[in-house]
Amino acid sequence: MRITVCCSDTKAAPWVDGLQAALPEAEVSEWQPGAPPADYAMVWSPPQAFCDDQPQLKGIFNTGAGVDALLKLRLPPDAVVVRLDDAGMSVQMAEFVCHAVIRHFRELDAYARDEAQSRWGFRKPRLRADFPVGVMGLGVLGQRVAQALAAFEFPVRGWSRRARDVAGVQCFSGDAGFADFLAGTRVLVCLLPLTDDTRGIMNRATLSQLLPGGYVINVARGAHLVDEDLIALLDEGRLAGAALDVFRIEPLPTEHPFWAHPKITVTPHTSARTLREESIAQIAGKIRAFSRGEPIVGVVDRQRGY
């Protein structure tokens, strides 16, 4: 079996070597234009030329959870697209989001400002009941995040496309459940895939439905958020702040107003990093299973977009 590797923003060599070591029976190499046709591909954000060059692929294994960049391409029609399924990302996402929620809830930025002035001053404890957290997207990452937040005893709500039942989480679903979900949420966490249905989902109309003092945590994709609506709502005092890890343009341009906004925290798309060893082990296992005709998890529904 022949496997081609195409990772646009990272060096391919360690991925090629790792996958080759995990699948000694295969012939693994970095994609070059005009390379012989491969059976499987391991990719991150490949160019269109890669897909055009590899029409015989049976499976395309994405080295990330989100497949929005991949599904924008003209892919070989019969290739199965497979996303990374946790592979060490959900625990990172849970710690990142819990940190962001707790930093806001416990006013840790205000204490840091006090420290800078050698000021010893307590703030009145806040009530968790006043800070219900709503997680949009109850998939691999969203469920883990929701349960981690519930373990800190925040009231947690979750919203998904289909009805879900997650222990300790008040679940809402579909368009019908969206307004109720938002109306009881103060801290909104986005863990949705980017699809035609979810693009721009955090906008003036939806963010205005949050409880007063709303706080936004976007760890999914930048295009879920309408940047100018967020800034306007923060400046009008309708929202208290935002922690943003993902952006419409990455790296976030230096002139973007998010950088300097006093109510916005920016991190460089780092909330849950792809871990190479875990990812290679998972992809190698799936390639073996798939080539034996066994079912695998993480197959993307190309029509649905995730």
Binding residues (CB under 6 A) for ligand NDP: these are 65-66, 89, 137-142, 159-162, 164, 191-195, 197-198, 219-221, 245-246, 269, 271-272, 306
| Residue 254 neighbours by CB under 8 Å, 6+ apart | none
Closest distance of CB 300 from ligand NDP, Å? 8
Q: How many residues does the chain have?
A: 306
CA 212 – CA 298 distance, rounded (Å): 38
3 state DSSP class of 28: strand
Closest distance of CB 83 from ligand OXD, Å? 8
Closest distance of CB 136 from ligand OXD, Å? 16
* Residue nearest to ligand OXD as judged by C-beta position: 64
- Catalytic, 104? Answer no
Considering only residues 273 through 292, tell me which ones interact with ligand OXD, judged by CB under 6 A: 274
By a kind-dependent CB cut-off of 5 to 8 A, residue 229 interacts, out of ligand OXD, ligand NDP, none, with none
Omega prior to 251 cis, within 30 of 0: yes
Q: Which residues of 41-67 are buried (b: 16+ CB within 10 A; e: fewer)?
A: bbbbbbeeebbebbeebbbbbbbbbbb
Considering only residues 22 through 81, tell me which ones interact with ligand OXD, judged by CB under 6 A: 64-66
Amino acid at 15: W
Closest distance of CB 136 from ligand NDP, Å? 7
Q: What are phi and psi of 181, to 5 degrees?
A: -60, -50
Indicate which residue of 269, 276, 288, 302 is catalytic: 269
Q: Judge whether 280 and 22 are in contact, CB under 8 Å.
A: yes
By a kind-dependent CB cut-off of 5 to 8 A, residue 148 interacts, out of ligand NDP, ligand OXD, none, with none
Considering only residues 236 through 275, tell me which ones interact with ligand OXD, judged by CB under 6 A: 274
List contacts with ligand OXD (CB under 6 A).
64-66, 84, 274
Active site (catalytic) residues: 221, 269
